[in-house]
Amino acid sequence: MTDFTEMADELILAITNGDYDRVEALLVSGVNIESQTAQGFTPIIVASTQGNVDIVKLLVKFGANIRARSVFFGTGCILCAAYGGHFCIVKYLLDLDADMLLSRPFEANELFQRAIDIGDDQMLRLFMEIGYDIMDGDNYPLVRATQRCRYDIIRWMTDIVDVNVETTDNNEWTSLHYSARDGKYDILEHLLAYHSCSVHVTCAMNVTPLMSAAFSGNNNIVTRFLDLMTDDDQDWIHAKDSSPESHTALSYAIVKGHLAIVKKILRRTGVSSPHIDYPKLFHYACVGKQPEVIRYLIESRGKQISLTEEIIQGIENNEIKAFVMDLIAKSDSSVIKTSSLVVNP
């Protein structure tokens, strides 16, 4: 009597070894084509994982269920083939039955996102060919491609598919916000130069792209944004977010200690701008424990800060307070005069 369990194990082994002739012989002999491994994988799932398209086609010829899934992991042929990078198998299976993917949105979404992550434009094109809505559900393809720094996929989406460049994710962030935050200048320039992405767009908490760049210390991107600004854009440069502190791009740069950006924004704004609350900025520098920023503010904007004994005594961190007092004590008379500091005798 034939041991069908042993034959099934032999079938899996033959598939794993890529032995087409042995697989065919076992199928002809009547081996159970839907037998499962200890992990619950059927022969066609194993073949899809291995990436052997000829064996996959052979199994289909003998009636293998291409919709079969592991009883333990829930994964099927397409998912396994895609994760192995076997595009030819994915395409073959979808040509046979595209609905087996479209009818499982979660799996389709997972495969689509993976295609973005690895830059597989062939897979993305195939998704569109079978009628998959790339903007459906929780898909934010342009944002995801930006986060993964997939410039090739971004160009495909913007130049060919014509995805809206100001589409937001579930955090209400656009690709421009992420590229500004993460310092991805090439992506940002592509969005600005070729697709007229607005630098005035805001996201959750009213955060602007300029704030994102200033917070992360991306000096070149801050420069690019400021170069796009006109004298009528001062309100945008100094826009406040919805945080309890009502931060601006400038205050974020101060808190994080990005001195070059602080200087850049202040030069762009002018000393006497009504948009700037200098005592508040000095407070942010002290809270952020940024001595170099504190030094710069006192030496360049001391008059506007109007340092008083009360302001200095209000500095909570003792080390920063001592630094400020020492800085003023060592400054020349012009700095002290400019600072308007009143020192009690």
Q: What is the pLDDT of residue 15?
A: 95
Q: What is the pLDDT of residue 70?
A: 81
- Shared-domain flag, residues 75 and 109: no
Indicate whether 77 pLDDT > 50: yes
d(CA 178, CA 184): 8
Residue among 6, 69, 51 nearest 32 (CA): 6
- SS3 call for 331: coil
- Shared-domain flag, residues 171 and 114: yes
Q: Mean pLDDT for the chain?
A: 87
**Of 18-32, 47-61, 109-123, which gets the smallest average pLDDT?**
109-123
- Shared-domain flag, residues 93 and 110: no
Domain annotation covers residue 272: no
Ranked by mean pLDDT, the top range of 6-10, 62-66, 160-164 is 62-66
Helices 4-17 and 20-28 pack at an angle, to 10 degrees, of 160
- CATH number reported for the structural domain that contains residue 209 in this entry: 1.25.40
Domain annotation covers residue 314: yes
Confidence of residue 216 (pLDDT cuts 50, 70, 90): very high
Q: What is the pLDDT of residue 307?
A: 82
Q: pLDDT > 90: what percent of the chain?
A: 49
- Shared-domain flag, residues 221 and 239: yes
Indicate whether 306 pLDDT > 90: no
- Shared-domain flag, residues 78 and 156: no
Q: Give the residue with greater pLDDT, 53 vs 306.
A: 53
Instruction: Tell me which of 198, 217, 247 is where a domain ends.
Output: 198
Domain annotation covers residue 283: yes
Indicate whether 51 pLDDT > 60: yes
- CATH number reported for the structural domain that contains residue 47 in this entry: 1.25.40.20
d(CA 239, CA 227): 17
- Shared-domain flag, residues 144 and 177: yes
Structural domain boundaries, residue 139: 104-198
pLDDT one-digit tens code per residue, 249-286: 999 999 999 999 999 999 998 888 888 999 999 999 99
The answer to whether 32 touches 4, Cβ cutoff 8 Å, is yes
Please count the structural domains in the chain.
4
Instruction: Tell me which of 263, 286, 306 is where a domain ends.
Output: 263
Domain annotation covers residue 318: yes
Instruction: Tell me which of 75, 97, 119 is where a domain ends.
Output: 97
Distance of CA 327 to the CA centre of its chain: 41
- Shared-domain flag, residues 245 and 328: no
Residue among 219, 155, 147 nearest 191 (CA): 155
Domain annotation covers residue 28: yes
Confidence of residue 133 (pLDDT cuts 50, 70, 90): confident
Q: What is the pLDDT of residue 22?
A: 95
- Shared-domain flag, residues 130 and 146: yes
- Shared-domain flag, residues 180 and 214: no
Domain annotation covers residue 271: no
d(CA 112, CA 91): 14
d(CA 262, CA 250): 6
Q: What is the pLDDT of residue 290?
A: 96
d(CA 215, CA 251): 9
Domain annotation covers residue 270: no
Indicate whether 4 pLDDT > 70: no
- Shared-domain flag, residues 344 and 293: yes
d(CA 273, CA 83): 56
- Shared-domain flag, residues 4 and 92: yes
- Shared-domain flag, residues 74 and 124: no
Q: pLDDT > 70: what percent of the chain?
A: 92
Residue 212 phi/psi, 5-degree rounding, is -60, -45
Indicate whether 302 pLDDT > 90: no
Contacts with 239 (C-beta within 8 Å, 6 or more apart), sequence order: 202, 206, 208, 211, 248, 249
The answer to whether 182 touches 216, Cβ cutoff 8 Å, is yes
Domain annotation covers residue 88: yes
